[in-house]
Amino acid sequence: MNKAILHKSPPTATPVDLENWERKQRFAMFRNVSNPHFSVTADIDVTRLIEVYKPQGVSVFNAVLYAIMKTVNGIPEFRTRFKGDQIYQYDFSDPSYTIPIQGTAFAFCETPYCENWQEFNAACLETSEQAKQQTHVQENETSDHLTWLTCAPWVHFTALAHASNGPDDCMPRIAWGKFTKRGDRWHMPVNIQAHHSLVDGYHAGLLINKTEERLQKTDFSL
């Protein structure tokens, strides 16, 4: 594993000019409502991942994480954050996700995002092994450039609500669930929770559709 990948430069945050921002009115509308978060859940087709790449020993978890994060990094709204009335956009987002440890416990794992699948997969394997040494859940990384993700492989959910830290919490949260076969196709639920001042249903739908497209087209060979 290239150690430079695990110690890459931190993201750059570029300020957004609120007065000239095309989301100015939507930001003002949703910024201070009591419950500004919205959630979207939809099934996507993962037949190719399950039938072609899983038998080859590819980690379906890492592949889904890669497809989601490549899509997140391609949609500026999911890399935009605010503190107070200061709005800024990161040039990239890294994933922070849950991994199982002892029994039913879990811990958080942060992995540097890589455009290249093989490099990203290698980074996931290394950082997850390190994270599994934890004995309890704890916050390891506080940067708001992260995207928070979790997998619930026990249930093919149709809706999901994430814990948040109130109306000022603008971190996007993404989850995926159990693979289910219907007829000759495999399906997986994907859930997105986002702050409506920064993200709209259009962007959530774009993320879901583009993630499905990446899972159908990416070469996940090791």
Q: What angle do CA 147, 124, 209 make, to 5 degrees?
A: 50
- Mean pLDDT per 10-residue run, the chain (222 residues)? 57 96 96 95 98 98 98 98 94 95 90 96 95 79 90 97 94 98 98 98 98 98 92
Contact 107, 130 (CB under 8 A): no
Q: Which structure tokens are listed for 17?
A: 């000019």
In this predicted structure, what is the pLDDT of residue 135?
Answer: 80
What pLDDT does residue 132 have? 86
Residue 179: predicted pLDDT: 98
CB atoms within 10 A of CB 173: 20
Model pTM? 0.94
Can you tell me the distance from the alpha carbon of 141 to that of 149, in angstroms, rounded to the nearest whole number?
A: 14
Instruction: Check residue 4 and give its pLDDT.
Output: 41
Asked if 149 and 95 count as a contact pair (C-beta separation under 8 A), the reply is: yes
C-alpha 100/C-alpha 106 separation (Å) is 4
pLDDT of residue 2: 45
User: What pLDDT, on a 0 to 100 scale, did the predictor assign at position 138?
Assistant: 74
pLDDT for 3 equals 47
Residues 6+ apart with CB under 8 A from 172: 72, 78, 147, 148, 192, 193, 194, 195, 199
98 bridge partner residues: 108
167 SS3 class? coil
Token pair for 125: 């394997």
Cβ-Cβ contacts under 8 Å for 154 (sequence gap 6 or more)? 177, 178
Determine the residue type at 34. Answer: S
* 3 state DSSP class of 95: strand
Tell me the domains of the chain and their CATH numbers. 3-217 (3.30.559.10)
